[in-house]
Amino acid sequence: MAINRREFLILGAGFGFTTFGFSPSAQAENGSSLAEFSTLIAQAPPIVPVFGRHSGFMVQSDYGDFSNNFEVVFPSRVSGLAQVYRDNAQSQFPWFGPLPPEYAFTCSPQGQTSKNLHGSFFGSGDASDVGLIQSNFKDFGSKNGHLELIVRHGDRLALYWRASNVPLLWTGPLYIPSSEPHRGNPAMVQSTFGTLGNFEVVVPHGQSGLIHYVRFNDNPDVPWSGANRFAEELGQVDAVALLQSDYLDAGETDGHLEVIARSGTKLFSLWRSSQPPYKWTLLPQSITDGLAVPLAVTGVPGFIQTSDRDFHLVVPLQNGGMAHLRRQNNLDASWVLESQFGGSFGAVSAVSLLQNKSSTTGLDLLARVAKPESRFEHFYASTEDLTWNPGSHFEEQPKTNMATEGEWQVPYSLEFGTVGVHAALLHTGNVLFLGYEDIVENENSTVSILNPTTGKQVNVLPNPQRNKFCCGHAFLSDGRLVLASGNVGETSAKSLHTFTPNGDSGTWTDFGAMSGGIRWYPTCTTLPDGRVLILAGTAQVFTTIHQTTCSQDFASPGVPRQVNKSYEIFDGATKAPSIPVPELFDDCEESLGLYGLYPFVYVLPDGRLLIHGNTRTYFLDINTNTVDLLPARTQLKTSRTYPSEGSTVLLPLRPEENYQAKVMILGGGVACSFVPSQNPNCGQGQPIDPISGNPVQTNCQGDFRDDWPSTDQCEILNISALDQGWKVVAAMNHPRVLPDAVLLPDGTVFVCGGSSTGTADAARMPVMQAELYNPSTNQWKKLASMHVPRLYHAAAILLPSGEVMTSGTDKFYNVPPFDHAENRVEVFKPPYLFKGPRPKIVSVTNQVGYGEIFSVFTSDTAAFDYACFIAPGAATHSLNMQQRWVGLKTVNSTLDDELLLEAPPNSNIAPPGYYMLFLMSKNGVPSEAKFIKLNL
């Protein structure tokens, strides 16, 4: 294959432009998880339909300098999809990707970028092979068309598309509305039907035959047709390839659609006429039966028509390698076997074939080989001699050492427009995700309830009918989730709701306005009596401090926004009066600043509440309504609460340590220090460095402070030694602002996400590598890197499986290029899940009382080490208001398959409600959890 092939192809040259967008009705019809669509330009399709009008997972695009890159999309090892491209402008034709994200930005609203933005991973869940095209839809100002693909997720077909302007973000999934079952791989082309060119999709039916869908691109709503099922006489079809040929019958102006279908080990040919009634015709003899040499085929074939009108078909063989078949359409139009090749590469699962745009004779194909996993071999040939030559290869990055680093997967995307800004694990085992309508923020919420095992999602309607984004949340002892406050309007900011789980769904209850009025960014905490305390937040909607200018925000001229220095207690039925606590969050004293939003709150074993905001720690006794101030501030000079938030955990409460309480805070960023003032307002402040406390400068202009540094510093407060104050412990491997911290069953602290620079609303240097803190050794350990950046408005919670699920990062409150709705959820499997057999809880009671001894039947008592209760998480804004780890005492049992455990001694140590029971093996492997209700 010549290496100096250069030729440009401009789609639709000489045709006019038509502008249109996607309507909200089309979004609803398609079951889209998308929030909005960019405005597009569509060009009329080219007259000649041969080049590129075929299906496959590789296309030759019009991207690239001086030449046309090869673009490839395939199912990723980590779930979802991965993208690779070959730079055909370079002499060695190097492949790039799939790569982990790398970021290098300047300070500007556009976020200038170098290296590969967002990496090469997108989508979620189990995915089939894709049908990939470059369409004639373009972003304004772009000369390139979108990459678009169709993929099967389970029974559902999903469309994804990639913007043609930097940063080239993939958007999707957009689901084709259909109740039909599907299997195998879908194939897609953009045909010449319609002025703008319809999308044509053919996919195997889940039972027999094939289904044809059409997207009518001339309609501004771009609707999909219903399912047109055909060729049922083929029985079960396993794979399909599609193209639009130059074949015309009398009176036709558009070429036929042509399909190659594999059923078992045979190939069949079908075609559709281009005029009503658009009938599909199945040729009676299989292609493979008509060959002189019998072939047993498998996998996904590659199928094209070249510029000399011939059909070329390359298909994997059951005994390894591939076969190349050709139909000479200018002669007798019969299929002949040209060659068998690639046997040395072993089994091949899928092939994608194209004619190189830079040559009239060049053919290129990619073959996905079975071993090693996700390896692709490139071959090239000429139509003049049809000898296939091996070229280069690439493969997806191998999995990490899972026993030491764990593994990330991207199993699902949230539907119903939901971004998981808030995440709460319900005692049903499902996860409630809550956000706002990402098209425009209004007085409403978006909600998805996800079964993390099956992927089933439910939209609980009617939803709260308030914007619960930026609320606080915690569980009542009966398992109802309390959600206090919200966003945008005063009505939502005062609102109080509960969610009652019920099976795969649940019900919302509106309790009107809170007693304390507006509480924007409050913290909720389950109390020892099972009620929920609602604390702080702002007394007016929106933040008290303008982080980028270090000046106090004003609700109106002369009225500064202030922290709501009060709390109220809710029992699930009655709203108690608001109780003032003026000692909390003294805004200006000693330059404390206005940082009393989403304060860190914990119930301590002595019944008091630890409350931490900015650099100050308080102890509140709600029985006497008295507040004690810890004299010593944190060692870090800046706030770890909003808007420069780090994260926090109450470290494990162990019976062998007499439930000694230690609170850990970690990470954080630049915050503002205020000059003391005699007036009630804080006046003008200045940003200071977290470590030194010295003023920091920025090279950024306007409201973008994305170069402000974060910190890797961590501190622990031992409640049994308060006179020692906050003590610095081992630093994280990465500085982080906006991280999430999750308690794991083995007593370690898992930390992920955040940014190495910036603050809330202005963070764009995501930290992708997770890490693990061991409180027993005071050491951090690096773990595998995530694939989905989690910045502002993200969450992470522990699942009953022992895995960690992450979600969030929204559109309106993140800066470019992260200002889009991130619907994907990602799941981390910690290293302990790769260390051997898991303990199994065969049976256990579903509720216990304090100090009660209860039986747990398990299959291997000899391997048992210890057990713990972990409260289900309720997380948002880097703060989990609900998680709590409580160790259980073990009592000797006389039965071989029975463990006797003792419930926590009182409700100060473990407030009443639902807990996950984990058994830990001596190898440090947790069981799957069972939910147990701890009763007063």
Q: What is the DSSP string of 389-407?
A: EEEEEEEPPPPP-HHHH-E
- CA-CA distance, 858 to 844, in Å (whole number)? 9
- CA-CA distance, 324 to 276, in Å (whole number)? 34
Model pLDDT, residue 9: 24
Q: Which of 43, 41, 19 is nearest to 139 (CA)?
A: 41
Which of 33-37, 172-176, 682-686 has the weakest average pLDDT?
33-37
Tokens of 659: 């439930």
Model pLDDT, residue 818: 83
Q: Which of 669, 677, 644, 643 is nearest to 560 (CA)?
A: 677
User: 3-state DSSP call for residue 724?
Assistant: helix
Q: Are 485 and 436 in contact (CB under 8 A)?
A: no
Strands 847-849 and 930-935: parallel
Strands 749-752 and 187-190: unpaired
Strands 804-808 and 280-282: unpaired
Cα angle 606, 607, 610 (rounded to 5 degrees) comes to 95
- Over residues 498-503, the mean pLDDT reads 96
Model pLDDT, residue 11: 28
Tokens of 56: 């496959």
More confident residue, 334 or 379: 379
Place of tokens 């559109």: 811
Beta-carbon contacts of 848 under 8 Å, excluding residues fewer than 6 positions away, are: 854, 903, 932, 933, 934, 935
Whether the predicted pLDDT of 50 surpasses 60 = no
Whether the predicted pLDDT of 593 surpasses 80 = no
Confidence of residue 403 (pLDDT cuts 50, 70, 90): very high
Q: Which of 261, 293, 258 is nearest to 274 (CA)?
A: 258
Burial class (CB in 10 A: 0-12, 13-18, 19+), 292: exposed
Q: Are 421 and 795 in contact (CB under 8 A)?
A: yes
- CA-CA distance, 895 to 488, in Å (whole number)? 59
Q: Which residues pair with 20 in a beta bridge?
A: 40
Whether the predicted pLDDT of 882 surpasses 90 = yes
Q: Which of 460, 511, 463 is nearest to 485 (CA)?
A: 511
- CA-CA distance, 891 to 888, in Å (whole number)? 10
- CA-CA distance, 289 to 268, in Å (whole number)? 9
Model pLDDT, residue 875: 98
Where residue 325 falls (left for φ over 0; alpha for ψ -120 to 50; beta otherwise) is beta
Confidence of residue 13 (pLDDT cuts 50, 70, 90): very low
- CA-CA distance, 865 to 460, in Å (whole number)? 41
- CA-CA distance, 809 to 815, in Å (whole number)? 10
What are the DSSP calls for 442-463, one per residue?
-S--EEEEE-TTT--EE--SS-
Model pLDDT, residue 358: 82
Beta-carbon contacts of 219 under 8 Å, excluding residues fewer than 6 positions away, are: none
Q: Which of 158, 146, 218 is nearest to 186 (CA)?
A: 158
- Each residue's pLDDT tens digit, 817-840: 788 889 999 999 999 999 999 999
Which of 147-161, 223-237, 482-496 has the weakest average pLDDT?
482-496
Model pLDDT, residue 553: 75
Model pLDDT, residue 7: 23
- pLDDT > 90 fraction of the chain, expressed in percent and rounded: 67
Model pLDDT, residue 29: 32
Backbone phi and psi for residue 427, each to the nearest 5 degrees, phi listed first: -75, -5
- CA-CA distance, 422 to 468, in Å (whole number)? 9
Model pLDDT, residue 729: 98
- Over residues 627-631, the mean pLDDT reads 92
Beta-carbon contacts of 590 under 8 Å, excluding residues fewer than 6 positions away, are: 676
- Over residues 283-304, the mean pLDDT reads 95
Whether the predicted pLDDT of 5 surpasses 80 = no
Place of tokens 């695009």: 61
Place of tokens 């306007």: 702
Q: Are 841 and 484 in contact (CB under 8 A)?
A: no
Confidence of residue 814 (pLDDT cuts 50, 70, 90): confident
* Buried-exposed string 454-472: b where 16+ CB fall within 10 A, e elsewhere: ebebbebeebbbbbbbbbb
Q: Are 519 and 485 in contact (CB under 8 A)?
A: yes
Beta-carbon contacts of 15 under 8 Å, excluding residues fewer than 6 positions away, are: 43, 44
302: part of which helix (H) or strand (E)? strand 302-305
Q: Which of 108, 91, 113 is nearest to 5 (CA)?
A: 91
Whether the predicted pLDDT of 708 surpasses 90 = no
Strands 647-650 and 662-666: antiparallel
Task: Compute how many other C-beta atoms are within 10 angstroms of the C-beta atom of residue 29.
Answer: 17
Tokens of 520: 């924007």
- CA-CA distance, 839 to 418, in Å (whole number)? 35
More confident residue, 172 or 910: 910
Q: Which of 446, 422, 413, 458 is nearest to 825 (CA)?
A: 413
- CA-CA distance, 594 to 553, in Å (whole number)? 10
Burial class (CB in 10 A: 0-12, 13-18, 19+), 132: buried
Q: Are 822 and 809 in contact (CB under 8 A)?
A: yes
Q: Which of 380, 313, 375 is nearest to 345 (CA)?
A: 375
Q: Which of 729, 899, 918 is nearest to 838 (CA)?
A: 918
Burial class (CB in 10 A: 0-12, 13-18, 19+), 652: buried
Beta-carbon contacts of 513 under 8 Å, excluding residues fewer than 6 positions away, are: 491, 494, 495, 496
Whether the predicted pLDDT of 107 surpasses 70 = no
What are the DSSP calls for 503-518, one per residue?
TTEEEEEEEEE-TT--
Q: Which of 412, 417, 414, 411 is nearest to 34 (CA)?
A: 417
Helices (DSSP H) in 317-429: which residue ranges?
402-405
Whether the predicted pLDDT of 44 surpasses 60 = no
- Over residues 440-449, the mean pLDDT reads 78
Whether the predicted pLDDT of 557 surpasses 90 = no
Whether the predicted pLDDT of 563 surpasses 50 = yes
- CA-CA distance, 95 to 117, in Å (whole number)? 16
Distances (CA, A) of 172 to 158, 400, 417, 795: 8, 27, 11, 21
Whether the predicted pLDDT of 27 surpasses 70 = no
- Over residues 20-29, the mean pLDDT reads 28
Model pLDDT, residue 49: 42
Tokens of 682: 């804080």
- Each residue's pLDDT tens digit, 346-401: 999 999 999 998 888 899 999 999 877 779 999 999 999 999 999 999 988 777 79
Task: Compute how many other C-beta atoms are within 10 angstroms of the C-beta atom of residue 343.
Answer: 12
Strands 431-435 and 446-450: antiparallel
Whether the predicted pLDDT of 137 surpasses 70 = yes
Confidence of residue 705 (pLDDT cuts 50, 70, 90): low
User: 3-state DSSP call for residue 289?
Assistant: helix
User: 3-state DSSP call for residue 29?
Assistant: helix
Cα angle 851, 425, 524 (rounded to 5 degrees) comes to 75
- CA-CA distance, 908 to 607, in Å (whole number)? 5
Beta-carbon contacts of 285 under 8 Å, excluding residues fewer than 6 positions away, are: none
Whether the predicted pLDDT of 36 surpasses 90 = no
- CA-CA distance, 573 to 293, in Å (whole number)? 79
